[in-house]
Amino acid sequence: MQQIDTDLQLIHDGETGTSPTEFRKALGLFDSVMIVAGIMVGSGIFIVSAEISRQVGSAGWLLVAWVITGILTVFGALSYGELAAMMPTAGGMYVYLREAFSPLLGFLYGWTLLTVIQTGSIAAVAIAFARFSGVMFPSISETHYFIAPVRVLPGYAFSLSSAQAVALAVILITCFINTRGVTWGKLVQNIFTVAKLAGMVVLLGLGAYAFVRNPSVFHLNFADAWHPRHISLIHTIDATTGFGLLVALCVSQTGSLFSADSWHDITFVAGEVRNPKRNLPLALGLGTSMVIALYLLCNLCYLAVLPISAIQTAPGDRVATLVVDTVLPGIGKLAMGCLIMVSTFGTVNALTLAGGRACYAMAQDGLFFRRAGKLNEARVPGWALAIQCFWALLLVLPRTYDAATQTYGNLYSNLLDYVISAALIFYILTVIGLFRLRSTRPDAPRPYRCWGYPWLPALYIAGSSVVLVTLFIYRTSTTWPGLLIVLSGVPVYLFLRKGKLQADLVAAQNTSG
């Protein structure tokens, strides 16, 4: 209660000692950790283990897949910590890539972030919220249409279902909350992140209870932990061979890395973090480590309750729901529906809060709409948040259509599949930028130096590169299109850059005149 009273006082009085044209320093260490954790935990951890188990085929390799994700995530976070402490300004990876390499590379990341990564994630998680709210309210469904699908191109349509309408409402509500000020955004974030983490702890408690009552399932899973069974083929390659297992582990990172993604978004709001040179590296390290530990424990929970074959065949891939239903028959669907609604709403809020700051940083450099580079009366980038919200809303409406199965999908889902590998390229380049800045700016202040440098960031680059190359070889349909989305930003950059140079020239002439 005392923390809430303090937050409300900040909302009323504002922070002292800063200009109305500057960000409000309202985020402490706890708030920052909650943003990192809240943005990582959505609905993926409750679902993707089913697909991973089909790819790797056994309990042991399922855990190894998540350990790989954990190592890459924590090593990446520790590497980013140095950059965040060195450049504690709004914009995160956009700023790091700009400073380490070039404005063009920074812009290409910002372009991909705005057009697909952040907005597509907001749309996807909002739809996930709507899907699971349908557990309690059956009228909320992707097949309950207000406007039936209207074909616009072969394979594409627009529609408005009750589920899409709920997703639109979630996006609008979280945008409105965050335009009222960072203190409102963090208050909502803290409440929902604490609630979702508490829900995960309850899930783990159920797994422990099941293990104590009947440890035979767990023992059965690990009696043959390293022998893949009932696996999905990847380009005729399966995990029963050494090379096939390596491919399967790399490809499985598509789901697990996406479930642990966006941990770096706290760096977008660096300008609003108190004592950022200390709190940003700590938040990245603590937040990612906590979530990865929970993810590993969740998978142990699944393996304590369900045979690996049941995980592979969980209805709708909803492994966590099946776990709860197994331990407490009849309430799994409702209980997990409530938990995932809480989890996804918090994730949408965190994605919304963070993403607008990257647009703000680009606008400050003259590479985005000028108004997006201004703060509103609440000292947040209101226009940038509105633009992000508008594009996320648009991504909810288009549908893909598979004529063979006569089923509808979601355009944002395809786009996110395309840019997962592209996002990994930017992550690798950012960590390479850590080495480059050590060379080009050896005397720059570094309040935090990456622990384990140079070996830890080098291992991140090597491990991520192996995953990336494997995806480009064995997931060609979803990787190469991602590069085209990134490269589509080049002509946009050249156009904006030309306009900025002309504006600077006019301004210089007016000044000299």
Average pLDDT, the chain: 88
- Read off the pLDDT band of 18 (50, 70, 90): low
Q: CB 278: neighbour CB atoms within 10 A?
A: 15
Q: State the burial class of residue 83 (Cβ atoms within 10 Å of its Cβ: 0-12, 13-18, 19+).
A: buried
Question: Which residues sit opposite 409 in a β-bridge?
Answer: 400
pLDDT digits (tens, 9 = 90+) for 204-240: 999 999 999 999 999 999 998 898 887 776 667 777 7
CATH 1.20.1740.10 corresponds to the domain 29-471 = yes
Spatial distance between the Cα atoms of 448 and 510, rounded to a whole number of angstroms: 43
- What's the confidence (pLDDT) of residue 82? 95
Token pair recorded at residue 361: 């940083």
Q: What is the mean pLDDT of residues 2-24?
A: 54
* pLDDT higher at 15 or 163: 163
pLDDT digits (tens, 9 = 90+) for 426-450: 999 999 999 999 999 999 999 999 9
Given a contact cutoff of 8 angstroms between Cβ atoms, the answer to whether 189 and 31 are in contact is yes
Question: Is residue 362 pLDDT above 80, yes or no?
Answer: yes
- What's the confidence (pLDDT) of residue 404? 79
pLDDT digits (tens, 9 = 90+) for 466-506: 888 888 888 777 778 888 889 999 999 999 888 777 666 66
- What's the confidence (pLDDT) of residue 32? 96
Q: What is the mean pLDDT of residues 342-347?
A: 93
- What's the confidence (pLDDT) of residue 14? 42
- What's the confidence (pLDDT) of residue 232? 74
- Read off the pLDDT band of 3 (50, 70, 90): very low
- Read off the pLDDT band of 513 (50, 70, 90): low
Spatial distance between the Cα atoms of 395 and 423, rounded to a whole number of angstroms: 19
- What's the confidence (pLDDT) of residue 15? 45
Spatial distance between the Cα atoms of 322 and 316, rounded to a whole number of angstroms: 10
**DSSP character for 116?**
I
- What's the confidence (pLDDT) of residue 221? 93
Spatial distance between the Cα atoms of 267 and 364, rounded to a whole number of angstroms: 17
Question: Is residue 145 pLDDT above 70, yes or no?
Answer: yes
Burial 36-67 (b: 16+ CB within 10 A, else e): bbbbbbbbbbbbbbbbbbbbbbbbbbbbbbbb
- Read off the pLDDT band of 300 (50, 70, 90): very high
- What's the confidence (pLDDT) of residue 477? 76
pLDDT digits (tens, 9 = 90+) for 234-278: 667 777 778 888 888 888 888 888 788 889 999 999 999 999 999
- Read off the pLDDT band of 139 (50, 70, 90): very high
- What's the confidence (pLDDT) of residue 7? 46
Among residues 170, 236, 199, 166, the alpha carbon closest in space to that of 324 is found at 199
Token pair recorded at residue 257: 């890395």
pLDDT digits (tens, 9 = 90+) for 40-98: 998 888 989 999 999 998 999 999 999 999 999 999 999 999 999 999 999 999 999 99
Spatial distance between the Cα atoms of 158 and 138, rounded to a whole number of angstroms: 22
Q: What is the mean pLDDT of residues 326-348?
A: 90
Sheet architecture: strand order including 407-410: 145-153, 156-161, 398-402, 407-410
pLDDT digits (tens, 9 = 90+) for 158-170: 999 999 999 999 9
Question: Is residue 417 pLDDT above 90, yes or no?
Answer: no
pLDDT digits (tens, 9 = 90+) for 278-296: 999 999 999 999 999 999 9
- Read off the pLDDT band of 1 (50, 70, 90): very low
Given a contact cutoff of 8 angstroms between Cβ atoms, the answer to whether 52 and 256 are in contact is yes
Spatial distance between the Cα atoms of 4 and 310, rounded to a whole number of angstroms: 43
- What's the confidence (pLDDT) of residue 506? 64
- What's the confidence (pLDDT) of residue 505? 67
pLDDT digits (tens, 9 = 90+) for 177-197: 999 999 999 999 999 999 999
- What's the confidence (pLDDT) of residue 19? 66
398 φ, ψ to 5°? Answer: -70, 145
Among residues 95, 82, 75, the alpha carbon closest in space to that of 434 is found at 82
Q: What percent of the chain has pLDDT over 90?
A: 62
